[in-house]
């Protein structure tokens, strides 16, 4: 018997062997018996000449006879099909459900089977067929197998589906197909069997597209979208190189696109993809003889597929895209559960902030301020944390803004001041042989306006016994530079008292250097954006930033020294930064190179060491 080539296996469960009924032979089908009515003989001619491919199959699943149409469809002579296993000819053994239903029809327990199969013709081409198995009259003890070629119909359905599922402008998958793929990727059977079990999404829209579309017209706008789609597809292809799958690129509508990464390996993979997209889109486009420039804002989400729904993933991506735009556009932003919790729980936090002060839910951590020349601990900055019973430990950016809005910053700031001064005095008493360290406390402008800050400081110093010069108050540059009237009088009174006044985040606000000389300020804290430019390695010249960055910082340090001020550099994270800052005269440094914010007992450990080594204060 000649082998038949089908898309599924040609081997399957053996037909039922317990069917002991007589086999209907070909001669019995084609030759009327003595009891057969005279009118039945023409049916064999109809069977042979019918354009529908058919075969008579006995109850054991063997082909008794086949017509010419079936032979033509399968690429074999009809007589060669006789005696073949019918299930193998049309691939009925490829799945257990179909195989079971077929056997039930053979046994007379089911009236009909209909299924669709993809077969491979001996000449190499594939075809789609609809297979129907139905019992013949009981006395024939056989079933009729009919096979209809539906390849043209399937091809037409495929073309129609492609039109329905793809965007006509960019030819990318549209929103419908994107959500179909996303939903399938989040089904448990999709990620439990293999893969990483994670999923990632880059959700983006174009910055500046609306202006181009409105001024140059929709035709140019559509061509620009098509060009963007080509670049996104190229980025996806490059990202999918040497990986199990290529990210799906889809246009979700307007100027919104998405890149879906199934079986992602983590946020690093998504970050690399987002970076490549930003770079690809930032290059100008030549559209209809015009050079057009746009950029993109991208929201990036990467997480475990388990427990995630399409709606939740898209909500997170949409929120993160909004953050990217709010942060300045032309950038990618990674979904931050903490930032999202801030958005979702803002009102809940505001309503519980004041009672939390009375319940003692706040605590202070301290970050070292280290001398650049001697690597010794000179002081610490007090940083507040909220031990929220529901949301866990919250950093200041989650609640200080709320406290300033509702006025609770005044009692909260008073608590921070007293707690920090009390702790600084305790360190001094516990380490009498070491030079005392100062403590730096952040002060909000509203504390100056809504309370008698000078009286609060004087009372606290008297109560704790801390010397005034061991207290430093930090105000932001915008607050200090705009000081006039009562705030300026308070700053002068505190300075005359001996308290150190520091300008925090210097270089990001007004930077009015002429006005700076008239203020009672003793310390400038350089914003971390200046210091980050010092992270490059001398040995790697390809990563060196603009030399002007270092010139500007050095000029600010020299100016501060001329005015009798000391300079603290924030966000010192590498030894290369510390070396350069030391070389240009920076006085103290603060950052993760030395220590993250830590509990008071860790500061006590640092006081017992001769110098603060890199990372020694980190948990």
Q: Out of 301-305, 396-400, 418-422, 486-490, which region has the weakest mean confidence (pLDDT)?
A: 486-490
Helix axis angle for 453-464 and 409-430, nearest 10°, is 30
The string of pLDDT tens digits covering residues 471-480 is 999 988 766 6
pLDDT at 1: 39
Which H or E run contains 440?
strand 438-442
Residue 42 has pLDDT above 90, yes or no: no
What confidence tens digit (pLDDT) does each residue in 373-420 have? Answer: 988 999 999 999 999 998 889 999 889 988 998 899 999 999 999 999
- Mean pLDDT, the chain, integer: 85
End-to-end CA distance of the chain: 76
Least confident interval from 239-248, 264-273, 429-438: 239-248
- Per DSSP, the three-state class of 571 is coil
pLDDT surpassing 60 at residue 14 = no
Q: What is the CA radius of gyration of the chain?
A: 39
Q: Which residue is associated with the tokens 């013949």? A: 136
- What is the per-residue pLDDT across 195-230, written as a single tens digit (0 to 9) for each? 889 999 999 999 999 999 999 999 999 999 999 999
For residue 7, is pLDDT > 60?
Answer: no
Question: Looking at residue 268, what is its pLDDT?
Answer: 93
C-alpha distances out from residue 160 to 153, 157, 184, 329, Å: 11, 5, 21, 38
C-beta of residue 337 within 8 angstroms of C-beta of residue 303: no
Distance (Å, rounded) from C-alpha 201 to C-alpha 313? 8
- Residue 198, strand partner residues: 304
- Using CB atoms within 10 Å of the CB of residue 512, give its burial: 0 to 12 exposed, 13 to 18 middle, 19+ buried: middle
Per-residue pLDDT, 543: 53
pTM of the predicted model over 0.75: no
What pLDDT score does 29 carry? 37
Nearest CA among 380, 365, 460 for reference residue 422: 460
């Amino acid at each position: 018997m000649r082998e038949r080539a089908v898309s599924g296996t040609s081997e399957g469960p053996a037909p039922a062997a317990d069917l002991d009924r007589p086999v209907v032979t070909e001669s019995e089908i084609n030759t009327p018996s003595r009891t057969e009515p005279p009118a039945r003989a023409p049916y064999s001619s109809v069977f042979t000449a019918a354009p529908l491919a058919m075969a008579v199959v006995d109850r054991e699943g063997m082909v008794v006879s086949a017509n010419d149409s079936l032979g033509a469809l399968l690429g074999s002579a009809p007589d060669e099909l006789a005696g073949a296993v019918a299930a193998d000819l049309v691939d009925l053994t490829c799945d257990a459900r179909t195989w079971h239903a077929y056997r039930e029809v053979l046994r007379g327990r089911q009236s009909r089977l209909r299924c669709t199969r993809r077969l491979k013709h001996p000449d190499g081409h594939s075809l789609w067929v609809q297979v129907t198995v139905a019992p013949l009259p009981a006395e024939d003890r056989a079933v009729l197998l009919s096979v209809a070629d539906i390849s043209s119909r399937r091809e037409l359905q495929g073309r129609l589906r492609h039109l329905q599922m793809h965007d006509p402008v960019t030819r990318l998958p549209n929103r419908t197909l994107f959500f179909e793929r996303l939903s399938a990727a989040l089904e448990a059977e999709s990620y439990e069997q293999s893969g990483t079990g994670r999923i990632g999404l880059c959700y983006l829209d174009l910055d500046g597209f609306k202006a181009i579309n409105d001024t140059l017209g929709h035709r140019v706008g559509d061509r620009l979208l098509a060009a963007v789609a080509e670049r996104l597809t190229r980025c996806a292809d490059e990202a999918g190189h040497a990986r199990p799958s290529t990210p799906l690129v889809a246009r979700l509508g307007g100027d919104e696109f998405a890149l879906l990464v199934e079986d992602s390996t983590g946020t690093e993979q998504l970050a690399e993809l987002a970076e490549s997209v930003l770079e690809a889109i930032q290059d100008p486009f030549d559209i209809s003889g015009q050079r057009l420039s746009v950029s993109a804002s991208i929201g990036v989400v990467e997480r475990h597929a388990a427990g995630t729904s399409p709606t939740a993933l898209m909500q997170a991506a949409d929120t993160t895209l909004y953050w990217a735009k709010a942060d300045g556009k032309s950038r990618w932003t990674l979904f931050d559960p903490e930032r999202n919790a801030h958005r979702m729980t803002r009102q809940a936090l505001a309503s519980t902030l004041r009672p939390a002060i009375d319940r003692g839910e706040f605590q202070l951590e301290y970050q070292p301020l280290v001398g650049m020349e001697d690597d010794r601990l000179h002081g610490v900055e007090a940083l507040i944390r909220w031990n929220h019973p529901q949301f866990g430990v919250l950093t200041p950016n989650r609640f200080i803004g709320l406290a300033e809005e509702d006025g609770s910053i005044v009692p909260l700031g008073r608590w921070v001041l007293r707690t920090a001064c009390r702790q600084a005095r305790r360190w001094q008493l516990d380490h009498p042989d070491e030079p005392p360290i100062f403590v730096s406390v952040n002060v909000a402008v509203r504390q100056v306006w809504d309370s008698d800050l000078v009286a609060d400081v004087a009372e606290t110093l008297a109560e704790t016994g801390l010397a005034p010069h061991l207290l430093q108050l930090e105000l932001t540059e915008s607050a200090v530079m705009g000081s006039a009237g009562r705030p300026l009088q308070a700053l002068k009174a505190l300075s005359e008292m001996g308290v150190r006044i520091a300008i925090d985040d210097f270089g990001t606000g007004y930077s009015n250097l002429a006005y700076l000389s008239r203020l009672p300020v003793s310390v400038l804290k350089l914003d971390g954006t200046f210091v980050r430019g010092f992270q490059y390695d001398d040995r790697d010249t390809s990563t060196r930033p603009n030399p002007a960055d270092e010139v500007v910082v050095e000029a600010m340090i020299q100016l501060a020294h001329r005015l009798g001020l000391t300079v603290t550099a924030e966000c010192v994270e590498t030894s290369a930064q510390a070396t350069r800052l030391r070389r240009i005269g920076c006085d103290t440094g603060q950052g993760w190179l030395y220590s993250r914010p830590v509990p008071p007992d860790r500061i006590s450990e640092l006081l017992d060491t001769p110098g603060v080594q890199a990372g020694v204060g980190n948990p």
